[in-house]
Amino acid sequence: MTNNLRAFLAMIGVSEGTARLGSNGGYDVLVGGTLFDGYEDHPREVVNLSRRLKSTAAGRYQILERIWDYYSKRMGLTNFSPESQDLVAVRLIKECDALEDIDAGRIEVAIKKCRRIWASFPGAGYGQHENKLAGLLEAYKAAGGVIKT
């Protein structure tokens, strides 16, 4: 894994609000900020965020249960460990065709390509809180990522 990809993953944790929570870099955080115990499987908890909004998002990258089930089966993952969460996040980034952009330091482009996956990215359009690009770029650089223009 390249330094830029590690930094991008760290930036996702900052964006999703999980990096500062939990006891393990956000890998044990449910949507809404509560924690779950154990990594045997996705926690599969439905959290009511509002009268109309419910979510099963969990872990550092706030992976939905249905997304986890799809990818863990195809990738042969047997637990929801930090390593497995990282593997699924990288797979999602790859499927957004953003890996090359990340490696090349084109982080703004990569964020735009991945915003359909992470609702906290600017321009995601899910009606949830979206972070500002400048803050995400700062988090990326703070994690050791290099930006090229």
Structure tokens at 38: 């154990």
Does the annotation mark 16 as catalytic?
yes
Residue 1 DSSP class? -
Catalytic residue, candidates 16, 40, 45, 83:
16
Q: How far is CA 72 from CA 57, 94, 105, in A?
A: 15, 15, 29
Taken in order 5, 8, 13, 14, the sign of the CA dihedral is: positive
Catalytic machinery residues = 16
